[in-house]
Amino acid sequence: MNLNDMDMNFESLRNLMISDRTVRRFREDREVAEETLLRLVELTRYCPSGRNAQPLCYLPVTSDEEKGKVFPLLKWAGYFQDWDGPEKGERPSAYLIQCLDTKYGKDCLCDDGLQLEAITLGMRTLGLGGCIIKAFNAPKLAEELGIDERYTPRYVLAIGYPAEEVRIEDMPDDDDADFKYYRTADGVHHVPKRPLAQLIINTSNPESK
């Protein structure tokens, strides 16, 4: 592979990551098949794993009955205090429940984030969007879905075809700049991102110490 090909591959990955934004409103009328969820979970087999224990597994949720049990247990968009989540017609078409299989360990180390990123990147290639949710009633979720106590729910990934536009906004190069996401009157969801300069530690600059 020559340098031009490598640069093209890098830019393709960069553009995919730019498009991999959190989506909280979906086209609920468009189904997501369980086969699609299995394809996405299969990507996690190739992720690095601490101690190579591979302790994470997933419960696909696609039926209306199970989705109806999951949705009330979720909390959406902590910065939107007056918004309880998507209305009917804009709710997720499917969920993946990420669980820790305690047979293989009590701690998944950094595996959870690595696998969720792999799944959401795969989702974008299929035109899907999602929301990784940590704020949910895990004991009640396990009860409602009949999840064995061997498995500890860690994250819920809401999945569907996006029904909203999400834009990245460049934050000012200012340590005190506001990093909260926000939604404008036109329904566009804006996500501020720090500039590269703030992500690099410059040991020659006394102010960075």
Q: Which CATH class for the 166-209 domain? A: mainly beta
- Backbone φ and ψ of 147, nearest 5°: -80, 125
pLDDT at 204: 81
Could you give the residue ranges of the DSSP H alpha helices within the chain? 3-19, 34-42, 64-70, 111-125, 138-145
For every one of its 209 residues, what pLDDT tens digit does the chain have, with 9 covering 90 and above? 898 999 999 999 999 999 999 999 999 999 999 999 999 999 999 999 999 999 999 999 999 999 999 999 999 999 999 999 999 999 999 999 999 999 999 999 999 999 999 999 999 999 999 999 999 999 999 999 999 999 999 999 999 999 999 999 999 998 899 999 999 999 999 999 999 999 999 888 656 54
pTM: 0.94
For the chain, give every domain's residue range: 20-164, 166-209
Give pLDDT, residue 3.
85
The pLDDT assigned to 128 comes to: 98
Burial pattern 99-130, b for ≥16 Cβ within 10 A else e, equals bbbeeebeebeebbebbbbbbbbbbbeeebbb
Q: How far apart are CA 20 and CA 159, in angstroms?
A: 12
Q: Does 20-164 carry CATH code 3.40.109.10?
A: yes
